[in-house]
Amino acid sequence: MSKLAVCSALALFLMVADSRFKVMQPLRVALATALYPAQWLALRPVVFYQSASQYFSSLTEAQTAQENTNKKHNLQSQRANQVEQLSLENTRLRKLLGLRERLQSNGMAAQVIYDAADPYSRKVIIDKGLTDHVGLGSPVLDESGVLGQVTRVYPLVSEVTLITDRDHAIPVLNTRTGARGVAYGDASFHADAMELRFMAANADVTAGDLLTTSGVDGVYPPGLPVARVEKVERRVDAVFARIYCVPLALVSGSTHVVVLDAVTAQIAPRPVPDPPVVVPRRGANK
């Protein structure tokens, strides 16, 4: 009891002394200084955990913000591409409408749906057919010139053989010289090319000459742009010159076209001749 009383009295004394005279303040400072390294080490795991949590949270937010920015950028790029594509289509449609107004033949607008499945031919499918009164053999144009000819007609679609097809031929006229010829599809020079065949080696044909439809075949109206001469090869041992041409129409990129009525559909039918008059011979009734 005496020890308890002494300790209690000492504690009470120290409490009063510290409260009145700050006796224990230097001891507190000394103990806090001595225990600071241990406290610092004890708090390191908590600090590391908080820092790591904040880092990963900031990283997630940054990645999310970057993904949102990329999505917005991609969306803006798509819209810009759509605007550019629409502007290009609008320009082509305006040219196509202008060409249609200058033509004297009747025609209808059509859209290219897809290319034909045959890899050895140059054909496309348009969205007009028998229900739209598309005729077999009708010429097809884009805003730059002759694109091809309707070779098959179905109820809802039609097949168009392009002028660069190896089996296609079109009578043409050299606008500079007035000489007529026949241009064939030819892929030997490059993918979308034509060849002006059966022209004499000394024929007056030079690179840059414009070829238009001559109108002698009864299919294409005269004066439509077809191709431009790109290269002329003349050989001494050859009778004919090799004349390579480039089509003016966008044979690989046309989307909107005009289907014209064939020239034969606009020509009046040949009149039926009168039956021959039979003159009776003399003495036939005797």
Q: Which pLDDT tens digit goes with each residue over 1-27?
A: 688 887 877 777 777 776 766 766 777
- Give tens-digit pLDDT for 67-110: 888 888 887 777 766 667 666 666 666 666 666 555 666 778 88
Q: How confident is the model at residue 56 (pLDDT cuts 50, 70, 90)?
A: confident
Q: What is the pLDDT of residue 32?
A: 76
Please tell me the number of Cα atoms within 13 Å of 34 on its side-chain side: 6
Query: What is the assigned CATH class of domain 107-266?
Result: mainly beta
pLDDT at 162 over 90: yes
User: Backbone phi, then psi, for 240, in 5-degree steps?
Assistant: -110, 150
* Cβ–Cβ < 8 Å for 173, 167: no
What is the residue extent of each domain of the chain? Answer: 9-102, 107-266
Q: Mean pLDDT across the chain, nearest whole number?
A: 81
Can you say how many angstroms the Cα of residue 162 is from the centroid of all Cα atoms in its chain?
Answer: 19
Q: Distance (Å, rounded) from C-alpha 116 to C-alpha 119?
A: 8
Q: Which DSSP symbol is given to 284? A: S
- The pair of structure tokens assigned to 72 is 């917005």
* Cβ–Cβ < 8 Å for 169, 184: yes
